[in-house]
Chain A
Amino acid sequence: IYIYIYIYIYIFSVDDCLPALWFDLKTLTRVYILSICTARTHVNYEVKEDVAVIRMNDPTSKVNTLSVQMQNEMIEVFNEVLANDAVQSAVLISSKPGCFIAGADINMIQACNTSEEVTKLSQEGQKMFARIEKSPKPIVAAINGPCLGGGLEFAIACQYRVATKSKKTVLGTPEVMLGLLPGAGGTQRLPKMVGIPGAFDMMLTGRNIRADKAKKMGLVHQLVDPLGPGLKSPEERTIEYLEEVAIQCAKGIVNKKISLTKEKGMMQKVQDYVMGIEFVRQQIYKTVTAKVMKMSKGLYPAPLKIIESVKAGLEQGPDSGYLAEAQNFGKLAMTSESNALIGLYHGQVACKKNRFGVPERPVKNLAILGAGLMGAGIAQVTVDKGIHTVLKDTTVEGLSRGQQQVYKGLNDKTKKKTITSFERDFTLASLTGQLDYSGFEKADMVIEAVFEDLNIKHRVIKEVEAVIPPHCIFATNTSALPIKDIAAASIRPEKVIGMHYFSPVDKMQLLEIITTDKTSKDTTASAVAVGLKQGKVIIVVGDGPGFYTTRCLAPMLAEAVRLLQEGVDPKKLDALTTGFGFPVGAATLADEVGIDVAAHVAEDLGKAFGSRFGGGNVEVLKTMVEKGFKGRKSGKGCYVYTPGLKSKDVNPDIEDVLEKYKLTPNPLVSSDSDVQYRLVSRFVNEAVMCLQEGILNGPVEGDIGAVFGLGFPPCLGGPFRFVDTFGANKLVEKMKRYEEVYGNHFTPCQLLLDHAKDSSKRFHK
């Protein structure tokens, strides 16, 4: 299914550098013993002339986090530096290549049981950074690699910041993505440093800011270029160089060559003046709050608390501000939303690992069949990863369209200046467009993205198997056809696997990989390895009609059709679904997926699963398709789409169709809330059933698949966390009520019933 969903605010960036610390007992013990017996393990310093160079390195992890250990040692070192008369200034730097501080230690927060405990943690952090800020000896933060969350708050407490221009160097406050706020002075210091609008932008979106942008914003003072090969490895020498420049800066501050109060430009003065007017500030709070409410539907508490904390600091002074920040931080840490988002974060990290091991041979040559939207999309995310990609189509027109799509995707990046035009050209040099099977004898993997028709797929697999080498994997990109049916035409089913991409491929993070009983482990490992290279979050599921994602979506869409038949206006339907937290409303979703595809899937899955998948009448969809209302792609579906216009009106012609298939709503189950739960409960029940039937490997992958592939409300953390939080018994209760009206569409599955019966049973520990 081609699903066009942007998880708008909560785009989880591909950061494997955010703190994901899985301490096992052994390392913990070792660290503990070390910290008792020997000197410090995480923080050390040396004095170079009169500058103390403080170096951080967490020996237990790939990234530095502000763990308890790190904080304690930092305080110790800081005290020594202050007490050392030979030291005039200090440089704070990480000796880990490619990481400054990736954030606070999430586990530290999760270990707390009450909001008071978390508030206390926050206040300790605030205290430490306040001391840094007031340090009589200037401290220069030398940043290379991610400087996020607590790391950024640390850096902005320092007197001066120098950052490398490396692509790895990003600054940001991603706390909002975990349902939290910058709790160590961030909400108080950022508005003063980058201005109120800039600070809100950073904290409410949580986006990463590259070093050059950070310099423009006033977040860092000086930039250092990454170095190439010299007498040492580029990484090593770059850190050394950064340190040298930072030491120069530290000395410069001490001997007053560098002034810490920057001369303000005219624009800055005007902006400061405007921001000094209370009325203007109030307007800003109002506008920002309204925008947040519009985008989050009030389902996410963190953005509101961020605004509140900033406001408290600016309007009532720093004392109230810091207190509000700490208290709000404590409150947020205890919310189910934060819990859900942190769960998703951990799930995402887990789904970025290959649990099938290293494949026997890496895929270096990949061939894609079909240069349609999907095929070209797959090519686009593959070609820039150093994999030679062949894009094959049957017609010149189809191929040209696909090649243009790949070009456009890369060219857009050039326009945004994330890559140079040269990098674009260089990348495109790895893409070959062709109409025949030449060169397929070198392919390590073939991904077919041809039309969703079993006969065509069979023909293709036979053609391809005649030309590819024995080790080559055949992956099929399908949204609903069972892989074993496709593999039936293969002479080597162990090399056949399903790779279900989501449209648009370059934006949607999920990849659903489907294995059959015959798929070999190495084939799976290879497919996952390719997916990870493409930057995907991957769930590996068992074979069956609709696999996991399509299967969950189908009953929900069936319910949506029934609601339309019952006279719910498409706009109202959309409002109810987005109001529940879905980024895209159900009617819009159907249009984006394509009414024809939806009809096709509904029919197929209806046949496979019987009346349970009923609800709305498939004929509604079919009639719409007959009339040419295929959704966005045909310009008309539930809505009318005018090119160039963002707003859309309900398609007046569907009223006749709906009138024809009109159903009478039952007032007992038609309240707004019931409408929402009718849609969601069918989705959730199907997800749980997939786990029960072994389609899913576990609830984590189920949650990740639903959120990243289908836009299940991130604030609920996915269907399984939703059951845990909402209560299986309450859900079952609702479903039974709907069952009485609609029958087996709402029959809860056994696993859900088990959970309802025993409240101690939970999907997530």
Chain B
Amino acid sequence: MRQSLWRGFCVTSRLFSNHRVYGCSLQPVGQNYWITALPTLLIWTTLFVLTDKMASMLMNSLRCCPPVNPAWAVQYATRSLSTSVQLHAQVQTKSKKTLAKPGVKNIVLVEGVRTPFLLSGTTYADLMPHDLARAALQGLLHKTSLPKDAVDYIIYGTVIQEVKTSNVAREASLGAGFSDKIPSHTVTMACISSNVAMTTGVGLITAGQCDTIVAGGVEFMSDVPIRHSRKMRKTMLALNRAKTLGQRLSLIGSIRMAHLTPELPAVAEFSTAETMGHSADRLAAAFGVTRLEQDEFALRSHTLAKQAQDAGLLSDVISFKVPGRDTVAKDNGIRPSSMEQLAKLKPAFIKPHGTVTAANSSFLTDGASAVLIMSEEKALAMGYKPKAYLRDFVFVSQDPKDQLLLGPAYGTPKVLARAGLTMDDIDVFEFHEAFAGQIMANLKALDSDWFAQTYMGRKAKVGAPAMEKFNLWGGSLSLGHPFGATGCRLVTTVAHRLLKEGGQYGLVAACAAGGQGHAMVIEAYPQ
């Protein structure tokens, strides 16, 4: 989470190309159109189910997928056809038709947006955190044409809190023009804060409390609270209570040089006093990840991000007119370099033999994100066309010292087991890239029987994700990582990639300070 500041210094002079907004914005589809379109869609899908099912049954008969009787599929399809209120479109998967559960509401992602992620200290430098969050919320309102009073609850995630706006969700939603009747709260869980914001929303919908939730995350590293020392604070507080001039003078007189040393926000894990970069370097070494592998992965991330940016795939990015500055429409941390360039950097944390450098770590970033989450009925009733289903999710936690960043390795098998899926069922992977070394370590852990048996109590590994499905539009290393905002970016990216690439299931996984982690399965919404 707390990466080297160097990166920020390195890339101050960056050319901003003309901004273009890619992709189409989603407008509520006419209710009539939707209803008439539905049966056609169902027929089409059902046919697809039948043909593809039979083929895959033959091909995958040796796989450990739950046996599905073709006759049942036919029956099911017939029933679907016969009921006009049937909302679930059935899409084929390799081992499971859909993750919809009887009696459990389907929850959908309607839209997801984010401000451009910028290196901290650049164009956003003079803002406040809630300004960024406001921009994301307004972007979401604009993109979805959501009425300002149609939301039941707003939840935001953030890590480094600005003390003036400690409930940043409330300040941002008021400032973004949402109705003041909408309650909002702020959550924190390090780098998976906005994941918690989303899953809190999912919980509220599942519990029947709400139907429409806006969740998001914000992080603003251009300004962080730097406090007076404890001694100084004590003196100042006592000064507040002092009654006489004499008392005040004696308190002022007690101030020494030592009082003036400021207290910076912790750069280290509280429980272990180790910085995250240091832990990442040890993790990489523990899994035998070489410097070369890390640099290659970092380069891949930047290259893919650049390609995605150029191809207009990052359609969740909204343009943002920064007061007093230019309009920002693109992430500014993407910098495809060369292996030679990367190899020149010295290790940033463990010197001189470490492997984690400023270039293969994610950099300090400012940014905010927001998503609109609804129950499927509500979304359809309001005329939205959802982008994806939010399905099973897990939170995991482990030793904050030696397994600080292994959240994805622990979360992935667990969430797959919950959903009854295998690694092969996943078409789209979006893992949070804190450090290239951390990603490589997690991939190696997922691919190790020994690790699965020794540390996870599993019989065997689940295997590593196929790289051709993995973080294809870049990741935190290249796009940037505003701690509190990354989770929504991951989920939105999975939804967009599923739409673009035509897959069925996507998996989000992320690690977080404190030795915690998160994983979520996302199912494509039938188009």
Contact = CB atoms under 8 A, between A and B. Distances in A.
B353 A248 contact: yes
A422 B514 CA distance: 13
Nearest to B454: A229
A228 B273 contact: no
A749 interface: no
Nearest to B271: A422
Interface in A195-245: 222, 224-225, 227-232, 234, 237, 241, 245
B16 interface: no
B451 interface: yes
Nearest to A252: B352
A287 interface: no
B288 A230 contact: yes
A224 B450 contact: no
A420 B444 contact: no
Contacts of B271: 420, 422
Contacts of B287: 230-231
B9 interface: no
B448 interface: yes
Interface residues of B, number: 27
Contacts of B273: 420, 422
Interface stretch (B216-224, B384-392, B398-406): B398-406
A245 B450 CA distance: 25
Contacts, number: 59
A234 B402 contact: yes
Nearest to B281: A225
A228 B353 contact: no
Given A222-B353, A241-B285, A420-B273, A228 B450 contact: no
Contacts of A225: 278, 281-282, 285, 350
Contacts of A227: 282, 285-286, 402
Contact of B450 (A231, A241, A248): A231
A229 B353 contact: no
Contacts of A224: 353
Interface in A226-283: 227-232, 234, 237, 241, 245, 248
A229 B272 contact: no
Interface string B378-414: 0000000000000000000001011100000000000
Interface string A29-72: 00000000000000000000000000000000000000000000
Q: Which residue, B272, B273, B285, B451, has most C-beta atoms of chain A within 10 A?
A: B285
B283 interface: yes
Nearest to A257: B352
B279 to A, nearest CB: 9
A227 B355 CA distance: 14
Contact of B403 (A229, A241, A420): A229
B272 A231 contact: no
Contacts of A228: 282-283, 286, 399, 401-403
Nearest to B283: A228
Contacts of A231: 286-288, 444-445, 448, 450-451
A112 B479 CA distance: 72
Contacts of A229: 286, 402-403, 451, 454-455
B33 to A, nearest CB: 55
A230 B450 CA distance: 9
Contacts of B445: 230-231
B450 A422 contact: no
Nearest to B400: A422
Nearest to A225: B282
Nearest to A162: B353
Nearest to B450: A231
B441 interface: yes
A717 to B, nearest CB: 43
B441 A230 contact: yes
Interface in B57-93: none
Q: Which residue, A222, A228, A232, A237, has most C-beta atoms of chain B within 10 A?
A: A228
Q: Which residue, A225, A234, A241, A248, has most C-beta atoms of chain B within 10 A?
A: A225
Nearest to B448: A231
B481 to A, nearest CB: 23
Contact of B272 (A245, A248, A420): A420
Interface in B396-434: 399, 401-403
B386 to A, nearest CB: 40
B34 interface: no
A753 B273 CA distance: 63
B270 interface: yes
Contacts of A241: 285-286
A230 B287 CA distance: 5
Contacts of A420: 271-273
B271 to A, nearest CB: 4
A322 B40 CA distance: 97
B139 to A, nearest CB: 40
Contacts of B352: 222
Contacts of B288: 230-231, 237
Nearest to A246: B353
A245 B402 contact: no
Given A229-B454, A230-B288, A422-B271, 5 more contacts: A225-B350, A228-B401, A231-B450, A241-B285, A422-B270
Interface of B: 270-273, 278, 281-283, 285-288, 350, 352-353, 399, 401-403, 441, 444-445, 448, 450-451, 454-455
24 contacts: A222-B353, A224-B353, A225-B281, A225-B282, A227-B286, A228-B282, A228-B283, A228-B286, A229-B286, A230-B285, A230-B286, A230-B444, A230-B445, A231-B444, A231-B448, A231-B451, A232-B450, A234-B286, A237-B285, A245-B353, A248-B353, A422-B270, A422-B272, A422-B273
